[in-house]
Amino acid sequence: MTINRKDFLRTVGVLTGAASISTLNASIQHNVDLDRLGVLSDLTLCIGCRKCEFACNKSHGLPYESIDKYDDPSIMENFRRPTSTQHTVVNRYPEKGNNGLPLDVKVQCMHCEHPACASACIVGALQKDPKGPVTYDAAKCIGCRYCMVACPFQVPQYQYDNALTPILMKCDLCYDQNIKNGQLPSCVAMCPREVMVFGQRKDVLALAHERIRTHPDRYIDHVYGENEVGGTSWMYISSEPFENIDLPTLSYECPSHLTENIQHGIFKGFSGPILLFGLLGLAMKLYRKDEE
């Protein structure tokens, strides 16, 4: 029996492919609690006062201005994303709201149920806490910034201006500082109109559907984040289709599903390495036989 290099590689490729496809159907197991937390943001109530930005920066020790400076709406003329000094920003969409009023959209980390950032993180610095928030441990972070590429909402920001000890910046739902002490996240507590409702995810989700049901004229029939990317902890209801207010139309499948299945499938029970070295052993045996 003769085997050349091309044939060998082809055989290995086919076998590896078959092994991985057979594992694709395995579902991802995430360790989340049933009473995990969530936030519902009702965009029809937001007036763009930006007090959430003030509260967030103040409570996280980030630079902030005096509170009356936040009344100035001119900064909202340009589209903004969270930055390394702002975990949350409010964007204004003129005349998109009810009665020709502007629609204001607060953006921050969505705290996905199956976060792509945590999946991409090779050192486990980003984790999905069983209670809901996606948390970040700067001590583990090696600064690869894969999370920034992975995030479907482009939320994580890196301290590029910090030369020596840069870390990743993103909303942590005030988990350590507020929630663990039985307090609300700072932005939720500050909001004058209670645009955001904080509670168990199932409860705020029920409330979202209740509002849509009782005011079908006010809302479009879609809770953004209920199913997007496999569900998020932060959800929106709005009077305007979400694609018009820069909330991307996303698959209901979580983006890390495919990659995680392949990776986890291959390495399940150390099957990948065993297969590889088994094949190599087989090839060696075949070559030896030929030589004999």
Partner 1 sequence: MKDNRHFQTLCIFMVMFLFILSGQNLQLPKSHLEMNTYCMSCHTCDNPTDDNPCLEICPRHGGKFKGTHTVDEGPKIVIMDQLSDIYSSVVFQHELHAGMSEMSGGCDLCHHFSNPDELVPPCRECHKIKDNYTNIAMPSLKAAYHRQCLNCHREWSHETECSTCHLVKREQETISIVPDPTDIMGAYHPRIEAEERYVYSTNYPNFPIVTFHHTDHVDLFGEKCVDCHSGNSCLRCHENGGSDEPPHIENLHSKQTCCNCHTQACREPDQCIFCHKDHEMPKFNHTTSVGWDLGDRHEDVACQSCHGPLKTFIIPSKVCTNCHIHWDLDIFDHGTTGLILTDDHVEFECTECHLNEDFSAPPDCENCHDPEEINYPDSLPGYKNK
Contacting positions for partner 1 (CB under 8 A): 45, 47-49, 51, 66-68, 71, 73, 99, 101, 182, 184, 191-194, 197-199, 203-204, 206-207, 209-210, 213-214
Q: Which of 101/279 has CB closer to partner 1?
A: 101
Tokens of 291: 């030589």
Quote the radius of gyration of the chain (alpha carbons, Å). 24
SS3 call for 112: strand
| 283 vs 8: CA distance, rounded Å | 8
Say which residues have a Cβ less than 8 Å from residue 143's Cβ, sequence separation at least 6. 158, 166
Dist CA 223 CA 228 (whole Å): 9
CB of 231 within 8 A of CB of 113? yes
CB 71, min distance to partner 1, A = 4
CA angle at residue 251 from 250 to 253, to 5 degrees?
135
Cβ atoms of residues 110 and 234 within 8 Å: yes
Minimum CB distance to partner 1 smaller for 67 or for 262? 67
* Closest distance of CB 164 from partner 1, Å: 35
* Residue number, 92 or 257, with CB nearest to partner 1: 92
Q: Tell me how far, at minimum, the Cβ of 254 lies from partner 1, in Å.
A: 25
* Closest to partner 1 by CB, 204 or 254: 204
**Smallest distance, partner 1 to C-beta of residue 200, A:** 9
Q: Measured from the CB of residue 213, what is the shortest distance to partner 1 in angstroms?
A: 6
- Return the number of the residue (210 or 290) whose C-beta is nearest partner 1: 210
